Amino acid sequence: MKNYKKYFFIGLIFSLLACNSDGLINEIDNKKIFIYNESNGISSLDPAFASNFENISAINQIFNGLVQLDEKLDVKPCIAKSWEISENGKKYTFNLRKDVFFHESAHMKKSKRVTSNDFVYSFNRILDPEIASPGIWIFRDVAKNDKGEYAFLAPNDSTFIIELNHPFPPFLSILSMQYCSVVPKEVVENFGKDFRSNPIGTGPFYFKFWKEGEKLILLKNENYFELDSNNNKLPYLDAINIYFIKDRFTEFLEFTGGKFDMMPSLDASYKDEIITQKGDIKSQYSNNITLLVSPFIKTDYLGFMLDGNFNTPFSKNKKVRKAIAFAINRDEMVMFLRNNMGYSAKTGIVPKGVQSFREDIDLPLVYNIQMAKKLLEEAGFPNGKGLPTIKLSITPSYLDLCEFIQFQLKQIGINVDLEVLPPAIHNQKSAKGELAFFRKSWMGDYADAENFLSLFYSGNFCPKGPNYTHFKNEKFDNLYEKAKITIDDSLRFQLYYEMEDILLEEMPVIPIYYDKAVKFTQKRINGLKMNSLNLLNLKTVRKN
């Protein structure tokens, strides 16, 4: 009887899909189908290409890895029920659950149990140059044996071992990334590149239907292994229905009209309509809609190319850079231009939401126009006299923010021209080190300050790495190298603080604001949890 109901439910969904009756889909069981829109679309459902939010959000429902993160970004068990890390920090031994099975597939034996060899295959696949996964960097510290093979070991079906070249404490957090999901060899090799649209995982929902540019449907995995705190089976939802309407204001209208259960972000086209300047939901929506907000480990900043070839006043004189930093009123910017959906960046490059964030220190980047003028005079440019016009390279979506900065710098005698570039061109030029002064942001791939501080390590000079400013400081490099292999958290955090102090003194970038993750849900939705990676997790969501 149970299987009959399951297949009747699936058949009913697809008969309604064929008729294109979205309203009827809602009427099947209004409590169990979670519907939302992904305006940017999805390019792949293959974990090897989990390189953007849109892909990650869907992939996270279909796949699992060894470990996962909770709302506080603490690492928790997933397919690995426990693990041990050697005293030298280089060997990770994972003990796998024995009750995790891949979703059913015609290209694989039914109910295939996940074993350690599946992880050996999945991780080696990420490193395969023919796959060309953008996640290849996550295993850069994995050791190789005498045969040149990566040290992913499977001594038995339920034990999986990874050996590193050197200790790297953030590695466990990196393993929670969707790149590290386990995939079935038989299915992947059968589909090849088409695995992107034929995914088979172990997650709380399994893939059923995808018409690119229109909709994606995932159905409940009845055999999912995780339980809630009361030993009830997860997930609670029966299905997920994702639309791909590109126009953000149309998405807003459909959401406020009740069609969508969630709006996954906030867009400038409607932000003033739905939230107040202080960041609260407006009264006309508060009875029906819930606003969910969390710190988001992303820092927006202004960067300076310090390479001497540019020969600019700010590349040669840190006092000019610091004058610019003190001349920006971050509080007003965040309040009036972002409706308080962000935090003024006053403590450094590492954002709120990272465990080592320095919340209670003296704020070194407060607005101080008198200090800005003093520094500019000490640099030899009193009231900006003798300082040439500065070109700031930006993208269209940040025009209002940078016009605000342009106005504020004018108050201390600095003239700024805004060069508005298409995002792809801006990214390309900054990655090649071709922009002298630019607005950019860095979103943490994993929840450790090392990810942000890596932007200033001289070994990461662009175009080979993310050091877009070509900042080079021997003391900073030494601290960075030491911190990477320091296992003790408190000692490592102290090294991070010393590095941040160097950055505040030298000012290769000016942090502007730390972002917030924002989601809106209908009041009928409960159990949607937020974290600072803005990871969408629907396995604990209920629809009333």
CATH number at residue 241: 3.40.190.10
How far apart CA 137 and CA 465 sit, in angstroms, is: 11
Supply the pTM of this predicted model.
0.89
Domain containing residue 406: CATH number = 3.10.105.10
Strands (E), 260-353: 262-263, 289-304, 342-344
213 and 103 belong to one structural domain: yes
In 3-state terms the chain splits into helix, strand, coil percentages (rounded to 5) of 35, 20, 45
Domain presence at residue 17: no
Domain that holds residue 212: 23-255+524-543
- Residue-wise pLDDT tens for the chain (544 aa)? 444 444 444 444 444 444 343 443 444 445 599 999 999 999 999 999 999 999 999 999 999 999 999 998 999 999 999 999 999 999 999 999 999 999 999 888 777 999 999 999 999 999 999 999 999 999 999 999 988 999 999 999 999 999 999 999 999 999 999 999 999 999 999 999 999 999 999 999 999 999 999 999 999 999 999 999 999 999 999 999 999 999 999 999 999 999 999 999 999 889 999 999 999 999 999 999 999 999 999 999 999 999 877 788 898 899 999 999 999 999 999 999 999 999 999 999 999 999 999 987 777 899 999 999 999 999 999 999 999 999 999 999 999 999 999 999 999 999 999 999 999 999 999 999 999 999 999 999 898 999 999 999 999 999 989 999 999 999 999 999 999 999 999 999 999 999 999 999 999 999 999 999 999 999 999 999 999 999 999 999 999 8
Q: How many domains does the chain have?
A: 2
507 and 379 belong to one structural domain: yes
308 and 345 belong to one structural domain: yes
74 and 162 belong to one structural domain: yes
Domain presence at residue 246: yes
Is there a contact between 29 and 544 (Cβ–Cβ < 8 Å)?
A: no
41 and 164 belong to one structural domain: yes
Is there a contact between 312 and 318 (Cβ–Cβ < 8 Å)?
A: no
Domain presence at residue 273: no
How far apart CA 469 and CA 434 sit, in angstroms, is: 10
363 and 498 belong to one structural domain: yes
Is there a contact between 272 and 495 (Cβ–Cβ < 8 Å)?
A: no
Using DSSP's 3-state secondary structure scheme, residue 213 falls into coil
404 and 439 belong to one structural domain: yes
186 and 243 belong to one structural domain: yes
Amino acid at 527: G
How far apart CA 336 and CA 324 sit, in angstroms, is: 20
Token pair recorded at residue 267: 């867009």
Is there a contact between 55 and 44 (Cβ–Cβ < 8 Å)?
A: yes
Domain presence at residue 16: no
Domain presence at residue 274: no
Q: What is the DSSP string of 344-381?
A: E--S-SSPTTSTT---SS--TT---HHHHHHHHHHTT-
185 and 307 belong to one structural domain: no
40 and 181 belong to one structural domain: yes
395 and 427 belong to one structural domain: yes
229 and 308 belong to one structural domain: no
Closest CA relative to residue 198, chosen from 99, 313, 104:
104
| Continuous segment of H or E residues that includes residue 431 | helix 423-431
Token pair recorded at residue 49: 């290409």
